[in-house]
Structure 1
Amino acid sequence: MTEATRSTPTEVRTEEDVRESVTAIVTELAPNPEQIEGAGDSRLVEDLGFHSLALLELAFTLEDEFELPPIDETTARKIVTIDAVVEHVTGILRERGEMAS
């Protein structure tokens, strides 16, 4: 979908809505979802068992779900916990004015 054909969001999302959506996506795609203990500090690789292919799938899923731009490798290497994933997504949505502050 090109930038010109993207529809504008009909409602502004709350941070809690985004956190819940991101956590649900991470849980669904995690090789070891039973390791999520409700804490956002669960580490993607060490705790949840994500490997390189699973991390790519997570990135692509989040890009599709939230219409995010592709993530660069430097930024991706800094995103190691669920909280970091949430912060990345919410930061972009805030910049675009698609999330309540």
Structure 2
Amino acid sequence: MTEYQRTAASAVADRTRVLIARMAPETPSSVADDQRLVEDLGFDSIRLMELVMALETSFALTPLNQEQLVEVLRVNDVIDLIAGHVTEAGGRE
């Protein structure tokens, strides 16, 4: 991985954490990658869908499908999902 790719990946991760923190019903002082969206941060199904829409908009992603979202349970799962889509889209953010 080049320095540029590491920097881009870090920027995606940071931006994703900020969005999650802003949208979390139980506003955390910080968001850790191992935190669970529902149990630790208080997301419910409606708030999770709002988070998905915010991520799609923020990163200019095509709509994510349910199969991709089923196993997204923790902050790091969200980061991995978004980073994969940003990479597939040619690195655009």
TM-score bracket for the superposition, by shorter chain length: 0.7 to 0.9
* C-alpha RMSD of matched pairs (Å): 1.8
Higher relative contact order (Cα pairs below 8 Å, separated by 6+ residues): 1
- The structure with the largest helix share of the pair is 2
Identical positions, percent: 30
The gaps in structure 1 that reach 5 residues or longer are 1-11
Length-normalised TM-score, structure 1:
0.78
Number of aligned pairs? Answer: 87
Query: Runs ≥4 in structure 1, deviation > 6 angstroms?
Result: none
The yes-or-no answer on 1:88 pairing with 2:81 is yes
Query: Which structure has the larger Rg over C-alpha atoms?
Result: 1
Aligned to 2:62: 69
Report the 3-state secondary structure (helix = DSSP H, G, I; strand = E; otherwise coil) of the residue aligned with 1:78. Answer: coil
Map 1:43-58 → 2, pairs under 5 A:
43-58=36-51
Aligned-pair CA distance for 1:39: 2.0
Q: TM-score, normalised by structure 2?
A: 0.84
Any gaps of 5 or more consecutive residues in structure 2?
Answer: none
What secondary structure, in the 3-state scheme, does the structure 1 residue paired with 2:83 have? helix
Whole-angstrom distance in 2 between the partners of 1:95 and 1:85: 15
Rounded to whole Å, the distance in 2 between the matches of 1:28 and 1:98 is 24
**CA distance, structure 2, for counterparts of residue 26 and residue 43 of structure 1:** 11
